[in-house]
Structure formats: C-alpha cells, structure tokens
C-alpha cells in the first residue's frame, strides 16, 4: 500500500512562472490537506479538500494560489506568478473518510520549491 505520493520532489522556477505540485493520497483516503513549511518554521495549514470540494482554504493566500482535488487524478496545488517568498517545502497529507477524529494525517515526502 503506497503512501502519500508527491511530485515533483524538487522544483525550480523563476520569478513570474507557474508552479504545479501534485499529490496522490493513500489508497482509500478521500481527504487531502496541503501544508507549507518555510525555512526555520513549522508546518502551516493551507487548504483541506475532499473529492471535487474545497472544504477549508483559510490558510491559502488570497492571490496566486489555488488547489483542486478532481474526481479522477491527483490533488494539485498551483502557484501562479511565483515570487521568492514562495520558496518552501510543500507537504501533502491525507486521511481516510472517517479518521475517528484522532486527527492523524499521513504525510508525503514533500515538494521543495525554489524560486530564483
């Protein structure tokens, strides 16, 4: 049973370009979360999605960032017109339909975005 798969693991973009990060949740998991870790900081919640629905996007910057989790295929975090401050590790996590309210999330290995 494969874990949460994220790709690419490393992504380099120039300022103004677009970055697309993909996440395939664990088999049987229908809840996806995106977190961002800036250098020397903890993980900050960005968005929580279920299939075809954004449940909570309270942590997403209002501009340039978007996320989706289509009926088929991986979840995608999209950052348009990247700036240097977007350089960070972006982690995806998933949980099963009913996680028993324990809050346990299963994390991928992260995608490290570097903006030149």
Partner 1 sequence: DQQVKQNSPSLSVQEGRISILNCDYTNSMFDYFLWYKKYPAEGPTFLISISSIKDKNEDGRFTVFLNKSAKHLSLHIVPSQPGDSAVYFCAASGEGNKLVFGAGTILRVKS
Residues within the interface to partner 1 (CB under 8 A): 4, 6, 31, 33, 35, 41-45, 48, 55-56, 91, 93, 95, 99, 101-110
Tell me the two tokens of residue 59. 């942590």
Phi, psi (degrees; rounded to nearest 5) at 66? -150, 160
Confirm if 87 and 19 have CB atoms less than 8 A apart.
no
Q: How crowded is the C-beta side of 32, counted as CA atoms within 13 Å?
A: 32
Nearer to partner 1, 67 or 110 (CB): 110
Nearer to partner 1, 41 or 72 (CB): 41
Rounded to a whole number of angstroms, the minimum distance from the CB of residue 107 to partner 1 is 4
Rounded to a whole number of angstroms, the minimum distance from the CB of residue 61 to partner 1 is 16
Rounded to a whole number of angstroms, the minimum distance from the CB of residue 16 to partner 1 is 27
Q: From residue 69, how far is each of 4, 10, 29, 114 by CA, in Å?
A: 14, 21, 12, 24
Nearer to partner 1, 82 or 93 (CB): 93
């Amino acid at each position: 049973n494969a874990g949460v798969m994220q790709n690419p693991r490393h992504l380099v973009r120039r300022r103004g370009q677009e970055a697309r990060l993909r996440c395939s949740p664990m088999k049987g998991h229908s809840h996806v979360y995106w977190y961002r870790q800036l250098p020397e900081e903890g993980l900050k919640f960005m968005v929580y999605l279920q299939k075809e629905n954004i449940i909570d996007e309270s942590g997403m910057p209002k501009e340039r960032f978007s996320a989706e989790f289509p009926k088929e295929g991986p979840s995608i975090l999209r950052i348009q017109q990247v700036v240097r401050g977007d350089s960070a590790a972006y982690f995806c996590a998933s949980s099963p339909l009913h996680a028993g309210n324990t809050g346990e999330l299963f994390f991928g290995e992260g995608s490290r975005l570097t903006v030149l």
